[in-house]
Amino acid sequence: MNPASPVKPEARILVVDDEDRVREGLCWSLRMTGYQVDEAASGVQALALLGRGTFDLMLLDMNMPSMDGVEVMERARRVQPDLAIIVLTGHATLDSAIAAVKWGASDYLLKPVGIQSLKAAVNKALEERAGQLRQQQVMALMSQVTAVLQPPDRMPAEATAASQPDKVLSVGGLALDVAKRTVTIDAEEPRSAELTEAEADILQELMRHPDQVRTCRQLVYAAWGHDMSEAEAAGTVRSHLFRLRKKIELDSGNPQFIKTVRGGGYFLAKT
């Protein structure tokens, strides 16, 4: 694919940079390519725009006064979990690279960035986001179709057993009411939260195997009953796990319950 050709011309992009010349240059390049572009000169402005409308991608400068890029990424994920993010920085550091990975940035570019490199990174990030959204839609549709077409009396033994789980699962300070899809968190600040069907299924799989790493592939199979590659599964479960963590963790950036094993998957810590 020609890097100059936008993957999704109608895609809406937010450019966040406190340097006027840099921001204006980025916006001009993307608009000339055909994208819809909004701009923000600070993290506060960026979050205000994210709160008012949906964006496909955010180009974010890591080094800004008042609110740095790491905080903007963290708060942006709370508002729009599926937002693709490309990090821009004039001073690459290990900490900024780790933060970019932690908050699911699609790319990490050094300034000044060339126009072709910028467009290629944007195309790649939008392609990945579109693929993940399509995969989530397909999985949801397949689950609905399977539920309709598979008669209860013909379900395999494994599925039948799974359809009659313990009413309440309790592990490491979490209590999941399987039928009601509610979780109670026994912590310094006791609280409860309602879960979506996918979130409840993923949490149930983790709670049934405490302190055991479950791959994204295993979590997808547990939640939707379908098999796929680990790479496809990672894209499918990422946003669900993000929302699940926001509901059960006091600090989703430093989770107490659902831990990540880089390159391996996730596990639920007993303590």
- CATH code of the domain covering residue 125: 3.40.50.2300
Within this chain, do residues 88 and 168 fall inside the same structural domain, yes or no? no
| Predicted confidence (pLDDT) at residue 81 exceeds the cutoff of 50 | yes
The pLDDT value recorded for residue 145 is: 59
**138: in domain:** no
**139: in domain:** no
Rounded Cα distance between 122 and 42, Å, is 21
Q: 48-62, 77-91, 126-140: which has the minimum mean pLDDT?
A: 126-140
Per the structure, the complete domain to which residue 51 belongs is given by 12-132
The pLDDT value recorded for residue 137 is: 65
Rounded Cα distance between 132 and 104, Å, is 13
Task: Among 132, 148, 177, identify where a domain stops.
Answer: 132
Rounded Cα distance between 259 and 255, Å, is 6
Identify the CATH number of the domain in which residue 167 sits.
Answer: 1.10.10.10
| Predicted confidence (pLDDT) at residue 107 exceeds the cutoff of 80 | yes
Within this chain, do residues 171 and 260 fall inside the same structural domain, yes or no? yes
Q: What is the pLDDT of residues 49-72, one digit of tens each?
A: 998 888 999 999 988 888 888 889
**137: in domain:** no
The pLDDT value recorded for residue 69 is: 85
- Amino acid at site 120: A
Banded model confidence at residue 102, pLDDT cuts 50, 70, 90: low
Within this chain, do residues 170 and 107 fall inside the same structural domain, yes or no? no
Within this chain, do residues 105 and 22 fall inside the same structural domain, yes or no? yes
Over range 158-183, report the average pLDDT: 74
Structure tokens at 101: 């990975």
Angle (deg, nearest 10), helices 69-79 and 94-102: 0
| Predicted confidence (pLDDT) at residue 143 exceeds the cutoff of 50 | yes
Task: Among 116, 132, 148, identify where a domain stops.
Answer: 132
Sequence-ordered list of residues with C-beta below 8 angstroms from that of 212, at least 6 positions apart, any chain: 267
Within this chain, do residues 112 and 160 fall inside the same structural domain, yes or no? no
